[in-house]
Structure 1
Amino acid sequence: MAGEITETGELYSPYVGLVYMFNLIVGTGALTMPKAFATAGWLVSLVLLVFLGFMSFVTTTFVMEAMAAANAQLRWKRMETHKEEDDDDDDSSTASDSDILTPDSYERAEKQPILSVQRRTSPNLFEITDRVEMGQMASMFFNKVGVNLFYFCIIIYLYGDLAIYASAVPFSLMQVTCTTDNDSCGVETDAKYNDTDLCWGPLRRVDAYHIYLAIFTLLLGPFTFFDVQKTKYLQILTSLMRWIAFAIMIVLALVRIGKGHGEGHPPLADPSGLRNLLGVCVYSFMCQHSLPSLVTPVSSKRYLTRLVFLDYVLILAFYGLLSFTAIFCFRGDSLMDMYTLNFARCDVVGLAAVRLFLGLFPVFTISTNFPIIAVTLRNNWKTLFHREGGTYPWVVDRVVFPTITLVPPVLVAFCTHDLESLVGITGAYAGTGIQFVIPAFLVYHCRKDTQVTFGYGTVNKHRSPFHHTFWVGFVLLWAFSCFFFVTANIVLSETKL
Structure 2
Amino acid sequence: MAGEITDTGELYSPYVGLVYMFNLIVGTGALTMPKAFASAGWLVSLVLLVFLAFMSFVTTTFVMEAMAAANAQLHWKRMENRQEEEGDDSSSASDSDGLTQDNYERAEKRPILSVQRRGSQNLFEITDRVEMGQMASIFFNKVGVNLFYFCIIIYLYGDLAIYAAAVPLSLMQVTCATGNDSCGVEAGTKYNDTDRCWGPLRRVDAYRIYLAVFTLLLGPFTFFDVQKTKYLQLLTSLMRWIAFAVMIVLALVRIGHGQGEGHPPLANLSGVRNLFGVCVYSFMCQHSLPSLVTPVSSKRHLTRLILMDYVLILAFYGLLSFTAIFCFRGDSLLDMYTLNFARCDVVSVAAVRYFLGLFPVFTISTNFPIIAVTLRNNWKTLFHREGGTYPWVVDRVVFPTITLLPPVLVAFCTHDLESLVGITGAYAGTGIQYVIPAFLVYLCRKDSQLAFGYGAVNKHRSPFRHTFWVGFVLVWAFSCFFFVTANIVLSESKA
State if a TM-score over 0.5 links the two structures.
Answer: yes
Query: CA offsets, 1:290-317, max 9 Å, x none?
Result: 0000000000000000000000000000
AA matched with 1:395: V
Equivalent position of 1:327 in the other structure: 325
Q: CA deviation at 1:378?
A: 0.5
Equivalent position of 1:20 in the other structure: 20
Change over 3 Å in CA distance of 1:166–1:99 after alignment to 2: closer
Secondary structure at 1:16 match in 2? helix
What aligned pairs does 1:336-485 form with structure 2 within 5 A after superposition? 336-485=334-483
Q: CA deviation at 1:116?
A: 1.7
Count of aligned positions: 486
Q: Decide which moves more: 298-307 or 173-182.
A: 173-182
Query: CA offsets, 1:397-449, max 9 Å, x none?
Result: 11111111001000000000000000000000000000000000000000011
Query: CA offsets, 1:468-495, max 9 Å, x none?
Result: 0000000000000110000000000010
Match of 1:195 among 189, 193, 196: 193
- Aligned partners of 2:340, 2:461: CA distance in 1, in Å? 44
Q: Is the 8 A contact 2:121 2:456 kept in 1?
A: no
Q: CA deviation at 1:229?
A: 2.1
Equivalent position of 2:3 in the other structure: none
Equivalent position of 1:3 in the other structure: none
Q: Is the 8 A contact 1:230 1:372 kept in 2?
A: no
CA RMSD of aligned residues (A): 1.7
Q: CA deviation at 1:194?
A: 0.8
Unaligned runs of 5+ in 2: 1-5
Q: CA deviation at 1:95?
A: 1.9
TM-score scaled by length of structure 1: 0.95
Secondary structure at 1:199 match in 2? strand
Query: CA offsets, 1:220-254, max 9 Å, x none?
Result: 00111111125211111010000000000000000
Match of 1:219 among 203, 209, 217: 217
- Aligned partners of 2:16, 2:52: CA distance in 1, in Å? 25
Q: Is the 8 A contact 2:233 2:366 kept in 1?
A: no
- Aligned partners of 1:443, 1:269: CA distance in 2, in Å? 36
Change over 3 Å in CA distance of 1:330–1:86 after alignment to 2: same
Change over 3 Å in CA distance of 1:113–1:401 after alignment to 2: closer
What aligned pairs does 1:3-402 form with structure 2 within 5 A after superposition? 7-97=7-97, 114-120=111-117, 121-402=119-400
TM-score scaled by length of structure 2: 0.96
Secondary structure at 1:350 match in 2? coil
Q: CA deviation at 1:187?
A: 4.6
Q: Is the 8 A contact 2:185 2:340 kept in 1?
A: no
Q: CA deviation at 1:13?
A: 0.2
- Aligned partners of 1:185, 1:235: CA distance in 2, in Å? 30
Query: CA offsets, 1:251-284, max 9 Å, x none?
Result: 0000000000000000010000000000000000
Q: Is the 8 A contact 2:53 2:283 kept in 1?
A: yes
Query: CA offsets, 1:40-68, max 9 Å, x none?
Result: 00000000000000000000000000000
Q: CA deviation at 1:119?
A: 1.3
Secondary structure at 2:221 match in 1? helix
Query: CA offsets, 1:184-209, max 9 Å, x none?
Result: 42555445111101000000000000
Q: Decide which moves more: 431-440 or 452-461.
A: 452-461
Q: CA deviation at 1:74?
A: 0.5
Q: Is the 8 A contact 2:61 2:463 kept in 1?
A: yes
Secondary structure at 2:9 match in 1? coil
Secondary structure at 2:197 match in 1? strand
- Aligned partners of 2:480, 2:116: CA distance in 1, in Å? 43
- Aligned partners of 1:204, 1:189: CA distance in 2, in Å? 21
Secondary structure at 1:116 match in 2? helix
- Aligned partners of 1:338, 1:433: CA distance in 2, in Å? 25
The share of aligned pairs that are identical, in percent, is 86
Unaligned runs of 5+ in 1: 1-5
Secondary structure at 2:389 match in 1? coil
Secondary structure at 1:132 match in 2? coil
